[in-house]
Every structure is written in C-alpha cells, then in structure tokens.
Structure 1
Amino acid sequence: MGNLLQKPIYALSQFLIVILMFIVELRLCSSAAAPANFIFGDSLVDAGNNNYIASLSKADFAPNGIDFGMPTGRYTNGRTIVDILGQEIGLSGFTPPYLAPTTEGAAILQGVNYASGGGGIFNHTGKIFGGRLNLDAQLDNFANTRQAIISTIGEDAATNLFQNALFSIAIGSNDFINNYLTPVISKVEQHLVSPQSFVAAMISRFRTQLMRLKSMGAKNIIVANVGPIGCIPFQREMNPSAGNECVDFPNQLAQLFNAQLRSLVQQLNTNLDGSNFIYADVYHIVHDIIRNYTSYGFENSNSACCHSMGRFGGLIPCGPTSKVCEDRSKYVFWDPYHPTDAANSIIAKRLMHGSAIDIWPMNIRQLLIN
C-alpha cells in the first residue's frame, strides 16, 4: 500500500519540478528577448550625455536626481519617460548614454541613449548652450554604434537586432523654445519667418533624418510629438499676461508642428515598406494631465517643484541653491521645463498601453507583439 501511495506522490513531485523549470526558463527567455532600446532626443530623455561635453545645459548637480540618491545627468528628480519604458519592456537596467566611457562592448547590445539637453532638429538650435548634440550628430553617433555592433556580432545578427529593437525619438521642443521663440539668440526674426514656414522647414529636415535612421536598419520607430510647451513654468513666467493659464502662442506652434508630424508618420508608413513608425501624442497626454491633475493625484500642475525665483519657479533652472517641494510626487513639473518622475511614469504607461488617442497606429505593447 505504501508503494502505491509513493508512486503518485513521486510522479506529482516530478511534474511540479518540470513545471517550475518551465516557468524559470520562460522568464529567462522573456528577459533575454527584451528588445534593444535606442534613444534620440533632447533633455526630456537625456540620460547623461551632456555630462561629458562643454555645455551650459547640464543636470549633473543636486538636487537633480534626488530620487536616484545622486545626480545622473537626467533633468528630473528620478527617471525619464524612456527609463520607465525600458523597465516596462523588460530591460535589466537603464539604457546608457553614448558618451559614457563604459558604453562599449556588450553594453551597447541592449541599446544606447544619444539624447542631449539643448539639442534640436536644426543644427543651430540651442547654440546658446554651447555644446549639445543635435539630431544629425546623434544619428552620426548611432552610425558608429551600428558599425561597432556589426563588428561584434556579425552583420546578420546585427540586422536582426536592429529589426527587433525599439528606436525612440523625442525632439523638437528646443527648436521652438531655444530658437524660434528667442529671436535675439537664434536671429530668426518672427516677422520675417512665419510659423508655417518655420514648421515646414522643421518637418522637411525631420523627414530626412527619420529616413536616414530607417536606412541604417531601424524598423520600429516611435516618434514623440512636441508637448504643450506653453504650459511649462518657464513660458508662464515669460508671459505673465496669461495669468494662471497656459500660454497660447507656444502651444499653437506645437500643435502646428504636431499636425504635420502626424501626416509625416502616416506618409512614411505608407511609402517605406517594412517600417513601423509610431506617433506618440505626448501633447495630448501631458495636456490631459495638466487639465485634470487632481484626478491623477497631483496637487500642482503649473509650478516647478525645484524652484528659486518667479511666481511659478520658472525663471532659473534647478540648481544647488534651489528649494525642493515637500512631496515631489504631487507636482507635474520638476523644474522650469521638465516633468517629474511621477508625471513621466503616467506618460510612459499611456504610451505603453494606451489607445489610439495617445499613440497611433498602435501602442508600444502592441508593437512588441506585432
């Protein structure tokens, strides 16, 4: 009788061991299958590239990075949108900045971050900061990474890696904030260059840049539009007549660009075979958060958590002499220009799982299984 009982128990235990091993293997495969993550853009997604160049646009000092326990070069208290997206897709760590000395060898096979604070679509954008990597320079740097990956794993494996990778681009805000809207600095006179002409030139340049990225093997390309720049604390300070409302003209510029960018994404999907260009409507998401901030758990949607001067704390960038709000999770904005980790988390998760009103023609989760 004892032997009869032992056999079913033994069989059950063996079955459970097999199931357990299958689960472990599945998790390992899932982790290994996380796509490489290549990131281009400006200070919204810079992970520290500007730490390594002579630039007035830096975030390598406290209280930036306060929720990392130290400054990292990110222009926020914690994670950027792409940091959070990387966690969502299963990456084991944050995508490293291209200019970091440790970003070499096996590290680049999981992706690289090329973004740079002050960078723009136009090469002359952000020149007030001195050093910065505009999008053309970022694409040059990706070309270097691409060649290094091919040399490391071979052309066939590299082609497969790029075909399955995510390429995220968040750029364009500086072309307005630190170019068109600052004629003394940019020498772009608004009475001579209409918004329509300026945006048309932006779109034309951006089309060339996106097609270059595609030609280097990128397939899944997520293109973020320009957010509601008229709502950032800096613009509120510069336009006191707006009162507590967002400033109309910068937002109108962003919407003019965004409408043409959406059309560009649609054209590229139609005309370039084997491509998945995704339009991420960050403007819609951030504007929704600002309008309905209390429903998202925020207490402040118009002022900088890290502040020193101004009604909205938007006159001076976050720095060592700044004061920090008591509860960072209650603020939409970290500094005069950039969202907090809490706001970035909402944006990232809506891009990951949202409907077509947030991200089109599919969200990132759908893109990964497509």
Structure 2
Amino acid sequence: MGHYRPLHCHCLIVLAFDSFIRLCTSSTAHTPVANFVFGDSLVDSGNNNYILSLSKADFVPNGIDFGGPTGRYTNGRTIVDIIGQEIGLSGFTPPYLAPTTAGPAILQGVNYASGGGGILNHTGKIFGGRINLDAQMDNFANTRQQIISTIGDAAAAKLFHSALFSVTIGSNDFINNYLTPAPCVDRVAQKQVPPESFVAAMISRFRTQLTRLYRMGGRRIVVANVGPIGCIPFQREINSAGAGAGPGCAAFPNQVAQLYNGQLRGLVQQLGTELPGSQFVYADVYRIVEDIIRNYSSYGFQNAAAPCCQLLLLSGVPAAPAGGPGPGLGLIDHINSLIPCGPASKVCPDRSKYVFWDPFHPTEAANAIIASRLFDGHHPYIFPVNIRRLTNE
C-alpha cells in the first residue's frame, strides 16, 4: 500500500507554493521542475532505511564519498543523482519514505526506488521488505494527489508534463528471482520455466506499469534496460564456469538479460507510438556498462572484476594485483565477490580505479560515465533522444 502523508500548510509553505505555480506556468522554462525516480538499489536514495529489509545500505562504508551512508548502494552518487545535477535541479531527489519528504519538497520530485525491488511482485522475497514497482506506482499516486490538492489540477498537469520520469528496474527480477538457487526462494525451478516465459511475464507486467505511469500524468519517461548482470562480481563468482559472454562474465545471466532487453526496446517504442503526447526514451545501460568493462583501462579504471569494498578480517590474505576481468583473481577477490559491503569491510584507497563498489553495484566513477552517456550520448546508447534533449523540448 502507499504511504500518505498529510500536508501541514503554514505561511511559508503557501508562499513557496505560490512561487512554484508561477514557475510551472512559465512558458520559457525548459529545465524540468520535478524529477520522479522509480527503480531498485541502483537508484535507491534511502527508502529501504525505513522498512524492515535485509537489503540495506545505511551503514559505513557506503557513502564514504557522499559524506556518510544515506542508503545509497555505492560510495557516492547514483546515476539519477548525477543526472539530476546535470538538469539543474537544486539538491538531490529525496526518498519517498523520509519524514522530511513532505510539503514543498515533493514539488521538485520524489525518489520511490527500493533496494531489492522488481517488476514482478514476488521478486526480492529473500530480502523480506522491499518496495516493488506496483507499490512504487501506488506511492507516486499518493504524491500526485498531494500535489493536485496543493497547487490545483492545471498546475499539477504542467508539472507532470514537464517533469523527468525515470524507471531503472528489472535486474532483481533475474538476480533475486529467476537466477536465485531454487532452495532460496519459493518458486518453480528454472528448468520448469523457460527464459522466454519468464521474460514474457516481465514485459507484460511492465507494460501495465508504464501505461499506468502515463495515465497518472508522466510524459517524459526514460526506461533503462538491464545491464550485463553476468559481469557483476557476484554472478562472475557463482557462475565461475560460465564463459563466452565477455571477459570473465557469466554467459547465461547475460543471455537472459539480452533476451529481456530486446523485448523491452520494442515495448518502449510501441508505447511511445501508442500513447498520445508521450516521449518514451530507451536507455541501453547494458551496452554502456559492457563497453566500460571491456575497455576499462581506456576509461581510467584498473579493476573491472573485483569489488572495491572488501572484508577487513581478510585483509591479510594475498589479493590479486589490480587488474581487469577474467581468471586469475586472488582468494580475497573471490570471497569479496560474494559477501556484501559492510562495517567489517575495508575500502580500496582510490574508488575511481574500480568499476564495482560491491558485488552488485557500480562505483560513483562508473555511475558518472553511465550518466554522461545517457545525458549527452546518442544512438545506440540512448534513443530516440538523449536526456538533455528530452528535458529541453
């Protein structure tokens, strides 16, 4: 269910709303006046801090380059944090469940993303609490009603039409659902569910969710595909025998991701044609991250296989020298590719030299490259337009 927060209007808030209405009705402003974020741990800004879940990042050393842990699953900024700064928004888009995300704050956008969340409602059950995409849409519906009640239908419609909406989700539907070992999750074994059937279920559900977002006023909608999940440290390790999907990457996880991405691209294009006034954008994060991993040294990275965050108690175990993906990782690299980053971990001294922060998530340095490609890049990385053009049209 969504979480409704009543607005407490005081004089200062009324003045802020009045200023915001004038901004919404300006015909010359091109910068989005609001940023609404949906997704999983790749873009969660702290929603999981407020729920009972095994998927959390509100502890050190997460956020070591962000002034401390905030619930972001990386050392610094996420992709949407960086894009928000690029489009000129003041401050970072706040998490929906934060007590301070109320009043005028919601008029500049809200982050609904949740670590462990997926397109399918049973995705992430191994974590207990998580906010899947249907629930995120419910939460946006609550925010939408608050905004309408505050500034009126006409101003709210202008806000939503000019706002940037981004949806970054789907990885958990594979990593923490379809690809999860059968004893760990209540579902039919993979052998009884062909990848084609599972992907079809994802696409069908996602179609309904994206259409609902459009019907609630979303128009400029960026949809990110699933990255090369077979290349994350965790999947490299548990599928160490896999080969053929790139240097050191696990083949099958990447194959199912590409199967899904092919259908997602068609869905995004179809929705953009069928829904009047919509501007759906397809973000090919798979292609961007794959290029970073294959050509890591040209981007200034020294390691594209092992996570930066490592167990402190194993600090005496010889590690492989900083290097690229592929075989030859030391014992410490293998162990740290399976165990999440936590208070007992140590951190590599130069985060800018690592692609991965922990077994699952990129560093801020990698996020910055991805964000740059999405903001100013071109086909095939993002199309039909990049985010700069989307937000200025």
- TM-score (norm: length of structure 2): 0.85
* Structure 2 residue identity aligned to 1:107: A
Partner of 2:34: 36
Match of 1:126 in 2: 124
Q: Would the aligned equivalents of 2:292 and 2:299 in 1 still touch at CA under 8 Å? A: yes
Could you list the runs of 5+ residues in structure 2 that have no partner in the other structure?
1-26, 312-331
2:365 — aligned with what?
342
Are the equivalent residues in 1 in contact too, given 2:242–2:252 (CA < 8 A)? no
Q: Is the 8 A contact 2:30 2:391 kept in 1?
A: no
Matched residue, 1:173: 171
- Give the alignment partner of residue 98 of structure 1, picking from 96, 99, 106: 96
In 2: Cα distance, 1:193 partner to 1:140 partner:
29
Residue in 1 that maps onto 2:4: none
- Rounded to whole Å, the distance in 2 between the matches of 1:321 and 1:127 is 26
Deviations 1:324-355 (A, max 9, x none): 11210000000000000000000001000001
Q: Does 1:307 align with 2:297?
A: no
Measured at CA, do residues 49 and 241 of structure 1 come closer, stay the same or move farther in structure 2, by a change above 3 Å?
same
Deviations 1:107-128 (A, max 9, x none): 0000000000000000100011
Q: Does 1:290 align with 2:293?
A: yes
Contact 2:31–2:392 under 8 Å retained in 1: no
CA apart distance, 1:33: 4.1
Matches within 5 A, 1:47-66: 47-66=45-64
Q: Aligned in 2, Cα 1:343/1:206: closer, same or farther, shift over 3 Å? A: same
Match for 1:115 among 113, 116, 120? Answer: 113
Q: 1:31 to 1:339 in 2, by over 3 A?
A: farther
Give the whole-Å Cα distance in 2 for the aligned partners of 1:30 and 1:134.
37
User: Secondary structure of the equivalent of 2:33?
Assistant: coil
- Cα distance in 2, alignment partners of residues 312 and 227 from structure 1: 23
Measured after TM superposition, the shift of residue 190 of structure 1 is: 1.1
Distance change (3 Å), C-alpha of 1:186 and 1:259: farther
Residue of structure 1 aligned with 2:139, choices 138, 141, 145: 141
Letter in 1 for 2:195: P
1:131-170: per-residue Cα shift (whole Å, max 9, x none)? 0000000000000000000011111000000000000000
Measured in 2, the distance between the counterparts of 1:37 and 1:203 equals 24
SS at match of 2:192: coil
CA deviation digits over 1:8-66, x for unaligned, max 9? xxxxxxxxxxxxxxxxxxxxx99994431000000000000000000000000000000
Distance 2:335 2:179 in 1: 20
Which of 241, 255, 259 matches 2:258? Answer: 255
Change (3 A) 1:351 1:186: farther
* C-alpha contact (below 8 Å) 2:93/2:109 kept by paired residues: yes
Structure 1 equivalent of residue 197 of structure 2? 197
Matched AA of 2:359: P
2:249 to 246, 251, 266: 246
2: CA distance, partners of 1:186 / 1:206: 22
TM-score, structure 1 normalization? 0.90
Fraction of identical pairs, as percent = 72
- Partner SS state of residue 38, structure 2: strand
Query: SS in structure 2 opposite 1:223?
Result: strand
2:82 aligned residue: 84
Question: Over the residues paired in the alignment, what is the CA RMSD in angstroms?
Answer: 1.6
Asked if the contact 1:76–1:341 (Cα under 8 Å) also holds between the matched residues in 2, the reply is yes
The question of 1:277 aligning with 2:280 is answered yes
CA distance in 2, matches of 1:143, 1:347: 29
Q: Deviations for 1:222-265, whole angstroms, at most 9, x for unmatched residues?
A: 00000000000000110122476100000001000000000001
Tell whether the 8 Å contact from 2:32 to 2:391 is kept in structure 1 after alignment.
no
Contact map agreement 2:307 2:333 (CA 8 A) in 1? no
Change (3 A) 1:177 1:186: farther
Higher CA-based Rg = 1
- Give the 3-state SS of the residue equivalent to 2:241 in structure 1: helix
SS at the partner of 2:336? coil
Supply the AA of the counterpart residue of 2:223: V
